[in-house]
Structure formats: C-alpha cells, structure tokens
Amino acid sequence: AQSVTQLGSHVSVSEGALVLLRCNYSSSVPPYLFWYVQYPNQGLQLLLKYTSAATLVKGINGFEAEFKKSETSFHLTKPSAHMSDAAEYFCAVSPSTGGFKTIFGAGTRLFVKA
C-alpha cells in the first residue's frame, strides 16, 4: 500500500529565505508524485508533478521538487520566499501501475515572516 508523510505540520521562514517542505513516500514501485497548494479560502491547485520523466521538476511560482528514489523523497523547495507563498501545501502520491487512489499527506502550513 502507498503512503505519504510530510515532516512538519508548520514551517515558518523569513521573506527571502529558502523554503524547504519535506515529503517522503512509501510505494513498492515509483509512483506519480504531486505537490498541491491551498491558499486561504481557495481550492487546491497543482504546483508540480513527477511522472517518471526528469527527476527535477519545476512548477509554478518558482517552486521545484526533486524525486530521489534512494531516499523515497520528493521535497519541495523555493530559493526565496514571498509573503504570497503563505498557504497549506500537500504532497500526494498516485499509483503508476494500476489503480486510481491518490493519497495525500496531512499538509504543511507555511508561514512567511516579513
């Protein structure tokens, strides 16, 4: 069975600092991996996804993530945080070989300090 763990329910960074949100997955075969963001009072929207092409994936708003099979990780980074990045971020995993069930992590709330 697949699972996903997000380390840290809350992360606080200063504006301009590096953003690092951690995600580890468990799967018998490399799955599809996603990062979604939820801004206050809005629905979830896709930031980026990994589907077995390049291991370094670039997304919207300057975010990127690297798939590391040896570490079963898919951490999300952004070199310089903006106030507008404050939101809830969810890592998700979907099966790459049969099945339709997308599993979401518990989420990490990002706070950006001025």
Q: State the residues that interact with another protein by CB under 8 A.
A: 9, 32, 34, 36, 42-46, 49, 51, 90, 92, 94-96, 99-107
Which C-beta is closer to another protein: that of 15 or that of 72? 72
Residues 23 and 9: beta-carbon distance below 8 Å: no
Residues 93 and 84: beta-carbon distance below 8 Å: no
Which C-beta is closer to another protein: that of 83 or that of 100? 100
Minimum distance, C-beta of residue 33 to another protein, in the bound complex (Å): 11
Which C-beta is closer to another protein: that of 5 or that of 77? 5
How many angstroms separate the CA atoms of 74 and 72, rounded? 7
Task: Copy the structure tokens of residue 24.
Answer: 């580890």
